Structure 1
Amino acid sequence: MDLVIIKYNAGNIQSVLYALERIGVSALVTDDYEKIQSAGKVIFPGVGEASSAMRYLKEHKLDTVIKNLQQPVLGICLGMQLMCAHSEENDTTCLGIFEEQVKQFAPPAGENGKGIKVPQIGWNNIFNLKSALFSELPENSYCYFVHGYYAALGEHTIATADYIQPYSAALHKNNFYGAQFHPEKSAKAGEQILKNFLSL
């Protein structure tokens, strides 16, 4: 099976490659339209800022390529957020694959907000798991998150996490999947999710 990782200006590509290596899978890192379109599976990673990432995708016409993919696609972290409709990060219109809106974490005012840091960095549990992406994964599995923005809960939510308020830890619509956490940094749980994605 040909697995492609989309190469663009906000990819956390090396850690994804290492994680795939650990489960015995190799991937091609490319921004070549034909190779992306003909791949069996596509991973769309992301670390960074939404508006500059979207600008890059549009300038290189990768936005159109991604939206029209027919095979299973997994967006990770910023990759998932860019697949949503809109991000509050610099008021960015995103790819619109998912209808969910991306909002900035806002700690509650006063005493209740004390000690709550944004971005969320570290391990958090995911629950209400509703997809083959989470096959053989127990409820409340711990995954690794690094993000200051979140996708709101919506009709495409297939896993929930809670930090300041409940939000979408993962999304699914048609052949598109998104994970707010980093499966490549989420130990055994992340390995299982990557294996599940590869066997979809």
Structure 2
Amino acid sequence: MPLPFIILASQSPRRKQLLEWAEVPFEIVVRHSNEDFPEDLPIEQVPIFIARNKAIAVKDYCIENDIPIQPVLAADTIVVLDNKVIGKPKDREDAIAILTALSGKKHQVITGVSILSENDDIAFADITDVYFHPITQEQIEFYVDNYKPYDKAGAYAIQEWIGVVGIKSVNGDFYNVMGLPVSRVVQELEKL
């Protein structure tokens, strides 16, 4: 079944790759949006809120510039450890501290998705539990120094070295941890 042509409101190479694998036709349009969120927002709503703001910014840009309205897909991924949102690391020391905190523990990866079209406003979050083996300080420093995960929530990418050697198990959608629950996205796009 052919899927609708969409606009991907993301520069993430991982989201781009996942949509290509799923054979979703798309073009990338990115506009700046505010990633702040209300402090009292339930954690599972945070990435939906941010994703929706990204989608709105792109949809508004398309309207203002007479670009034909296509469904706009935006996503945001957060890592949650002990009910606290862990964002992208600020620097090397922060990345090491984050991975040290994740070592030997379970955390959640939550990706919020927003799909806006002329007539639809679809929003959902997908949650995946990720369990790390205990990781040595030497392994953590090796990963941070060689892979520089400064643009990644939780300071890691599951498809990189740290995921291959450090992750004990994953309960939920693996691709959600990469940044997009692509099978759920395809299901929602099929409904459009």
Fold agreement, TM-score > 0.5? no
Greater relative contact order structure (CA < 8 Å, 6+ sep): 2
* TM-score of the two chains, using structure 1 as the length reference: 0.32
* TM-score of the two chains, using structure 2 as the length reference: 0.33
Q: Which has the larger radius of gyration?
A: 2
Greater strand share, structure number? 1
